[in-house]
Amino acid sequence: MLTIDKLSYQSKLRYMNAGEKCAFAILTLLVCVISRSIVIAGLVLCLNTFLIVCKSGVSMRRYLHFMEIPIVFLILSTLAIIVNFSRTPLDAFAVQIGSIYITGSWYSLRFGIQLILTALASVSCLYFLSFTTPMTDILQVLKRIHCPELIIELMLLIYRFIFILLDTAHAIMTSQNARLGNCDFKTSCKSFGQMGSTLFLRAFKRSNALYDSMEARCYDGSICVLNENYPPKTMEICLIIVCEVVLAGIVVGLHFFL
């Protein structure tokens, strides 16, 4: 089982209505992306961090571990926006190397920070949904809003095939390690290439076997999954509405007064 799946099933918000959690995550994400405000992004990031760590029960260390990948990616991608090579120094900073300046402006620096915070806040919205809601509950919400059944079936099958792929890769890597297949860099590269070719074939065969087993159990194009029903609570709905109204009000206030 994936770590995110374990966290979602062990979450303290596991038994909260899935529709409420999806609505909160999507609305907050839209407000954050549309506003493109550093203040809103900071508030959303702090709010989701509080909900994930304090309310859901995910440790801060694990949460920061999941945030490391988008943080590194965003820093590397925004360097191209903030840092410029020019013969004329700009107003924020300038480091001269011969006749060329490694420089940047306050506008590009502010835009880079805004981009990083907005992206991190958006990722935190998706993490909140992932850490608190199992995949089956999310698919049930999509079904209730009349999402095409074909898309839902594909999502469920792809979700299942991910576990098949990971299980096959883990078995191959264990076998390679037992035979010293990763004793040095050259051998590791060779083993990785062999694993890539073997992994595709074995995963394809296991996927076909899974489909055959579904056909043997009268699969008619629709996968029926038992779902528990957690009715929405008035207090939780009111809190979500208040939160979104406050964020929207701050967006409007920043637009008119700044």
Domain annotation covers residue 27: yes
Task: Count up the domains in the chain and report the number.
Answer: 2
Same domain, 122 and 173: no
* Segments forming the whole domain that contains residue 174: 148-216
Q: Give domain status of residue 198, yes or no.
A: yes
Quick one: which of 145, 127, 135 has its CA closest to 25? 127
Give the per-residue pLDDT at 177.
Answer: 80
Residue 177 is assigned to a structural domain of this protein: yes
86 lies in the same domain as 205: no
Report H helices in the chain.
3-10, 18-35, 38-50, 60-82, 106-132, 135-144, 149-178, 185-216, 234-257
| Pair (129, 153) in one structural domain | no
In a domain, 194, yes or no: yes
| 55 in the same domain as 118 | yes
Q: Does 182 lie in the same domain as 129?
A: no
Residue 77 shares a structural domain with residue 185: no
pLDDT at residue 50 is higher than 90:
yes
pTM: 0.80
pLDDT digits (tens, 9 = 90+) for 5-39: 888 888 898 888 888 999 999 999 999 988 888 89
The helix/strand/coil state of 186 is: helix
Query: Within a domain: residue 74?
Result: yes
In a domain, 221, yes or no: no
Predicted pLDDT at 124: 93
Residue 227 lies in a domain: no
Q: Is 247 helix (H, G, I), strand (E, B) or coil?
A: helix
244 and 117 belong to one structural domain: yes
Q: Tens digits of per-residue pLDDT, 181-206?
A: 777 777 878 777 877 777 777 777 87
Distance (Å) of CA 123 to CA 8, 63, 75, 216: 16, 12, 15, 41
**50/111 same-domain check:** yes
pLDDT of residue 206: 75
Q: Which of 49, 62, 57 is nearest to 9 (CA)?
A: 57
Task: Examine the domain organization and report whether 102 and 168 are in the same domain.
Answer: no
Q: In this structure, are 161 and 124 located in the same domain?
A: no
Residues 208 and 238 in one domain: no
Q: Do 17 and 124 fall into the same domain?
A: yes
* 149/205 Cα distance (integer angstroms): 26
With tokens 């954050």, the residue in question is 32
In a domain, 142, yes or no: no
pLDDT at 209 over 70: yes
The per-residue pLDDT of the chain, averaged, comes to 83
